[in-house]
Structure 1
Amino acid sequence: MVKRCGMHAGKALVESLKLHGVSRVFSVPGESYLAVLDGLYQSGIENIVCRHEGGACYMADASAKFTSKPGVAFVTRGPGAANAFVGIHTAWQDGDPVVLFVGLIPIADRHRESFQEFSPEAWFGTQAKAVFILDEPDRASEIVADAFFCAQSGRPGPVIVGLPEDIIRQPFDSELSPPRSISESPVCLDAVLEELEKAENPALFVGGERWTPDACEQLTQWAESVPIPVLQDWHADDRLPDASPANAGSLGYGRHQGAADLLDNADLVVCLGTVPGDVATDGFQLRQSPRQRTIAITPDPELRGAGVRVESHIVASPVEAVSALKPLKRGWPEWTAEKHQEFLDATRIPSVEPSSEYAHMNLVFAELQHYLKDPVYTVGAGNHTAWAQSFIPATSYPSQLSTRNGSMGYSIPAAVAATLETSRLVVAVCGDGEFLMNAQELATAVEHKCAFLAIVMDNSQFGTIRQHQENHYPGRVSGTAIRNPDFACYAQAFGAYGEKVTRDSEIADTVRRCIEAVHSGVPAVLHVKVDPEILQP
C-alpha cells in the first residue's frame, strides 16, 4: 500500500481508480460530487462528459463489454441516479462489470426529505451485485477496491457506490488499497469431454461475459478441429467469426430456424459462459424435454437465468474452460457442415424489387458490406436490429455491442464508447424511435471526435410493438405511430455529417459519402426512409 496524505477523499477515490487501471470515465456533473470532479482535474483520467445520465451509464456498459474491464460512470443524486438506472438494469441482465458512483446528500441531511434524497439500497438493491455507501473518508480507496472486485468476480455485474458530498470533501488520511486479482484457476473438463464423445448430435452454446480475444480464438480452433457446431447466445454473436465452419448461428429474436432446431434436437448441449435463458429458448419453449441433456460451464455459482434443465454445472470462467479443452476421439463433420450451411443461407441478403418511393434496408446493407473489413457494430432494441445481426459480419472479438435486456437508446452511446477504444469502423444501427432516446449524445461524439456511422431506419413507428399488435389485435394499430424529424439535418446541427435517402437509386453514393465523412474524422448519420410495412429483412 502507498501512503497518500494531504488530499480529500474525492481525490483519494480518483487516485484509486488510477491504481485500478482506469483511464476513462463517463459522467454528467453534479454538485453532490464536486470533490471527485476536483480529483479528476489534471488526474490523467479522461472524463467523457455526457448529455444524459442514461447515455453515460450505457457508455460505461459498452466500455465494459468491449474491454472486459469495469466501465465507470459518475452521476448525481436523485434525478441523475434515476436516469442512470436504465444502464444498471442493462448491466445486470447482461452480466457486465459496471461501477456507478452516485453523489449523495450530506449524511446529516438523511431521512428529512432533503433535496433529491433517495435510498441507493432500495433503488438499486435488486439490480446490482452490491451497493456500497462511503460513510468514512478514510475508506474511500478501500471501497473502490471492494467495488471493482465485486463487479468482476463470478458472474460480472454492476456495483453502486454512494458518495455523500460531505464525506468526499473531508481529508483522507489512510493508504491506497491496491486492486484485488480475479484468479483464473485450472479446471478439469475430462468428464465433460467424455460425455461429448458419447453424443450422437451434440452442440456447444456460448456467450456471456469474461471472454477474451485469445479465448475466442482458442474456442474457434478447437471447435473447427473436432468439428462440432457452435451456437451463440442472443446478441453475443462474436465469439466465433461468421466464416468459421463451426459457426451454426445464434439464438433469440431474429434467429433462423436451423439454430432453434439445433438447440431443440441436440442430444447434448455444453454451455460455455452462459445458459439458454428466456430469449434463447423462445420464451422457455425450446429444449424443455427431460431427455435433452445440458451441461453448463459458467462463472456464476447461482446459474442465474437458466431456462432449461441443467444436468451438471461446473463453475469456471470461459477463459478457464477453453484452456481445459482437449482433442476428442471423434467429431461430427457432416452435422457441423449442415448447421453452418443453414447459418450461411440465413445470413445471405435477400434480393428485393427496386423502389422509387422508399429505400430498402437490404440494399443499404448490401452496399455497406463493401466497406466492412473488421467492423464493430452497436444496436439497441427493435426490429431494425435484425439487419445488423444478420448482415454485419463478425470477424473478431469483440465486434458486437448490444443489450440482451432489450433496452432502447443504447446504439449511439455504445458507438461513442467503442470509437474511443478502437480505430476499427464502428456502425450504429438504429431504429427511429430507438435513435431519439439518446441521439443527444451525438454532441458528445462530435466533441470527442468519435467518428462512427449511424444508420437510422425510419419507418415512422415503433415497429416491434406494431408487429405485436398485428399479431394480437389485427388491424387495430394504436399508439405506435410517430412523426420524425429530418435526422440528417438533426445530425448536422450537432456538427456531424448527415444525409437522407428516400429511394434505392440514392443508396450507393450516399453510403460512400457517409463512409468518407467517418474516415475524415466526424460521425455520420444516414437517414433511411423505408416502407413501414417491411418490418424484417
Structure 2
Amino acid sequence: MSHPSLRNGGKILVDQLVAQGVERVYCIPGESYLAALDAMLDAPIEVTVCRQEAGAAMMALTEGKLTGRPGICFVTRAPGATNAAHGLHIAEHDSAPMILFIGQVERDMIGRGAFQEMDYRAVFGSVAKLVTEIQSAAQIPEVVQRAFHVAMQGRPGPVVIALPEDMLMETAEVADAPKAVAVPIWPGLGQMAELQKMLWAAERPIAILGGGGWTPRASAAFARFAERFDMPVAGSFRRAGAFDGEHDNYAGEIGLSANPRLKARIETADVVLLVGGRMSEAAAQGYTLFAIPAPRQKLVHVHADPLEIGRNYHPALGIVATSPEFCAALEGVQPPANIVWSAETRQARADYLAWSEQAPANPGRVQVSEIMFAIRRRVPDAVFATGAGNFTIWVNRFLRFRSFEQQLGPTSGSMGYGLPAAIGAARVFPGRRIVCFSGDGDFLMNGQEFATAVQYGLPIIVVLIDNGLYGTIRMHQERAFPGRPIASDLKNPDFAAYARAFGGHGETVEETAAFMPAFERALAAGAPSIVHVRIDPEAITPATTLSAIRDAALARRAGS
C-alpha cells in the first residue's frame, strides 16, 4: 500500500486502477469525468476510445471474460449510461467481470432532476452485482477495491460506480488500496468422495462444462479426469471452448439447434456432472432437459455461487467451488476398476463428428458450412467472436474450439456483440488472429466500431453473412404467422465498400469458391477487413429453409 498523498479524485481513481493491475480502459469521453480522463494521460493504461457506449462496454466485458479480472469501461451521464446497459446485460448473463464507471451530476444537484441526471441504483440494480455512488474523494480506494472483489468473487459479473463530477475535482490525502484477488473456493473432501461413489455406481454419465472463470489449467485438469474416467464431455451454450473440441471425449455443444443425439444422451444419462454452468434457457432446451425442480438424472452441480445451486434444479449433490479448484481436486477422484460406459463415450464422439462434419446443403451459390470448414482448417487457433442470429448456428456447429478463449459469444443472445468482442480480444491478444462472424442485421447494431479497429490498427477479419433479413425473426414469424412477414426485410449497404470507406480492407463473395481467396487476401492485408458473403435469403440454418418452415406451419394449420 502506498503512503497517502494529496491528489484530486480523478487522479486517485486512476491510481487505483493502476494498483489493481488494469492495463486497458475502454471509453466514450464525457465532460462528466474530465478529471479522470486527464489522469489517464499520465498513467500506464492503454485507452481505447470507442464510437458508442454499447461497443465500449462489450469490449470491456470481453476483456473480463478473457483475463478473469474486470474489464474497465468509462461512460458519461444518462445517454451514455443507458447505451452501456447493453453490455451490462451481456456481462450479467455471461458471468463476466467488468466495472462500468459513469459520470454523474455534481453532488448538490442530485435529486433535482439536473441535466442528464439518473438514479443508477434504480436503473441498474437488477442487472449489476453492485451499484454504488462515490460521495467523497477519500472513499475512492475503498470503493474501487470492493468493486473489483465483488466483480470477481463467486459468480463473476458487472459492477456500476457513479462518479459525481465535483467529487472527481475534490482533493484528498488517502493511501491506495491493495490489489483485490478473488478467493479460490475448494470443494470439500467429503463431497469429492460422494462424487466418486456416484460415478462408480453410474452406467451412463456425462459431464457438461459452462459458466465463466475457466482457465487453461482448469481445462487441462478436467481433460485428464475425462480421460481417466473415459467420460463424454459436452460444452454448455457458447461455452464449448472449456473443453478441447478435438479431444476424443468431446461430445458437442448443448445450446440452440443442438444435436438431437446429444440432447437424448443427456436426457437418458443417469449422472450429469455440471461444472460452472447454470443450464439456463438456451442450454437447457427451454428448461426441458432437466425436470424442475427435481431432475430425473442424478445432477451433480458445481458452481462458485451457492445461490445458483438449487435455483432451478435440485441437485443430488451440490458443490460450492470455483471451476479451477474443483478441476484440480478431481485429481484425487479415482475411476472404477471396470468402466462400463466406454462404448457410450465412443458413440457420443461419433455422433458429434457426424453432426459437425456432415452438413446438409443450403440454398444458393454459397454453402455456409463449406466456409466454416475452410476457416477451421486455415486458422484453427484463432479467436472467434459472434453476435447473435441464425448465422451463429453454423459457427457453433462446424467450428472446433480448442480453448476457452476461442469462443466469444453472448449467452444473452444479444445482437451486435461480435465486432466489439473481436476488438476487445485484439487488444488483449495483440498479434493473434481474430475472426468475427456477423449477420447483416447483427453487424449494423455496432458496425461503427469498425472505425475503432481502423484507428488502432487491429487486423480483425469480419466474415459478414448477409441474407438481407433479420433472419431469426423471420423464421419465428413463419412458424407463428406463416406467409405474413413484417418488419424483417433489410436494405443493406455494400459492406466491402463500407470497410474501405473507413480505411480497412473489403471483399465481396457471392459463391463458395470465391471465399478462401478473399479470406487469404484479408489475412494478407494486415488491416481490419470485412469479407461480405452474400447468401440466399432461404438459407436460415444448416438444415432448415424459410419456405420449409412456412410450408410446415401452413400444413399444421390446415390439419387443425
TM-score for the superposition, normalised by structure 2 = 0.92
Give per-residue Cα distances to partners, 1:344-395, cap 9 Å, x unaligned.
Answer: 111115264895xx42222322332331231110011110101211222212
Cα 1:485–1:349 shift into 2, 3 Å: farther
Match of 1:526 in 2: 531
1:418 aligns with 2:421: no
Distance 1:49 1:536 in 2: 36
User: What's the offset of the Cα at 1:277?
Assistant: 1.9
1:319 aligns with 2:327: no
Match of 2:234 in 1: 231
Matched to 1:322, the amino acid is: C
How many residues align structurally? 532
Q: 2:397 aligns with which of 375, 378, 390?
A: 390
Distance 1:470 1:304 in 2: 38
Distance 2:438 2:186 in 1: 42
Cα 1:95–1:22 shift into 2, 3 Å: same
Would you say the 8 A contact 2:386–2:436 is kept in 1?
Answer: yes
Match of 1:83 in 2: 83
Would you say the 8 A contact 2:362–2:539 is kept in 1?
Answer: no
User: What's the offset of the Cα at 1:233?
Assistant: 0.8
Distance 2:408 2:172 in 1: 38
Distance 2:416 2:345 in 1: 37
Alignment of 1:378-527 (within 5 A): 378-422=385-429, 423-517=431-525, 520=526, 522-527=527-532
Give per-residue Cα distances to partners, 1:424-447, cap 9 Å, x unaligned.
Answer: 311100000000011111111111
Cα 1:510–1:494 shift into 2, 3 Å: same
Cα 1:354–1:536 shift into 2, 3 Å: closer
Distance 1:465 1:231 in 2: 28
Distance 1:270 1:150 in 2: 27
Matched position secondary structure for 2:507: strand
Matched position secondary structure for 1:221: helix
User: What's the offset of the Cα at 1:170?
Assistant: 0.6
Matched to 1:206, the amino acid is: L
Match of 1:262 in 2: 265
Match of 1:57 in 2: 57
Matched position secondary structure for 2:166: coil
1:375 aligns with 2:385: no
Matched position secondary structure for 1:176: coil
Match of 1:30 in 2: 30
Cα 1:353–1:64 shift into 2, 3 Å: closer
Cα 1:117–1:516 shift into 2, 3 Å: same
Matched to 2:447, the amino acid is: A
Distance 1:85 1:353 in 2: 36
Match of 1:105 in 2: 105
Would you say the 8 A contact 2:295–2:315 is kept in 1?
Answer: no
TM-score for the superposition, normalised by structure 1 = 0.96
1:204 aligns with 2:207: yes
Cα 1:6–1:470 shift into 2, 3 Å: same
Q: 1:273 aligns with which of 257, 273, 276?
A: 276
Cα 1:122–1:406 shift into 2, 3 Å: same
Match of 2:547 in 1: none
Distance 2:217 2:361 in 1: 39
Would you say the 8 A contact 1:354–1:504 is kept in 2?
Answer: no
User: What's the offset of the Cα at 1:305?
Assistant: 8.8
Match of 1:285 in 2: 288
Would you say the 8 A contact 1:360–1:531 is kept in 2?
Answer: no
Cα 1:297–1:473 shift into 2, 3 Å: same
Cα RMSD between the aligned structures?
A: 1.5
Cα 1:234–1:290 shift into 2, 3 Å: closer
Would you say the 8 A contact 1:349–1:362 is kept in 2?
Answer: no
Q: Percent identity?
A: 35
Alignment of 1:111-130 (within 5 A): 111-130=111-130
Give per-residue Cα distances to partners, 1:431-471, cap 9 Å, x unaligned.
Answer: 00000011111111111111111011110000011111111
Match of 2:303 in 1: 298
1:339 aligns with 2:348: yes
Would you say the 8 A contact 1:277–1:306 is kept in 2?
Answer: no
Higher mean alpha-carbon deviation, 385-394 vs 184-193, is at 184-193
Distance 2:263 2:363 in 1: 32
Matched to 1:72, the amino acid is: I
Would you say the 8 A contact 2:418–2:437 is kept in 1?
Answer: yes
Would you say the 8 A contact 2:105–2:117 is kept in 1?
Answer: yes
Match of 2:553 in 1: none
Would you say the 8 A contact 1:278–1:305 is kept in 2?
Answer: no
Matched to 1:382, the amino acid is: G
Could you say which structure has the higher helix fraction? 2
Would you say the 8 A contact 1:455–1:525 is kept in 2?
Answer: yes
Higher mean alpha-carbon deviation, 4-13 vs 359-368, is at 359-368
Match of 2:47 in 1: 47
Distance 1:46 1:21 in 2: 12
Would you say the 8 A contact 2:416–2:443 is kept in 1?
Answer: yes
Higher mean alpha-carbon deviation, 105-114 vs 279-288, is at 279-288
1:249 aligns with 2:252: yes
Would you say the 8 A contact 2:6–2:174 is kept in 1?
Answer: no
Would you say the 8 A contact 1:276–1:306 is kept in 2?
Answer: no
User: What's the offset of the Cα at 1:196?
Assistant: 1.4
Give per-residue Cα distances to partners, 1:487-530, cap 9 Å, x unaligned.
Answer: 0000111111011112234223212212222xx2x111000110
Higher mean alpha-carbon deviation, 258-267 vs 500-509, is at 500-509
Give per-residue Cα distances to partners, 1:251-299, cap 9 Å, x unaligned.
Answer: 1103111221122111111111113221112111122274322111100
Give per-residue Cα distances to partners, 1:285-338, cap 9 Å, x unaligned.
Answer: 122274322111100111179543323311100011101112312432111111
Matched position secondary structure for 1:324: helix
Matched to 2:241, the amino acid is: D
Would you say the 8 A contact 2:32–2:165 is kept in 1?
Answer: yes
Would you say the 8 A contact 2:70–2:148 is kept in 1?
Answer: yes
Matched to 1:7, the amino acid is: R
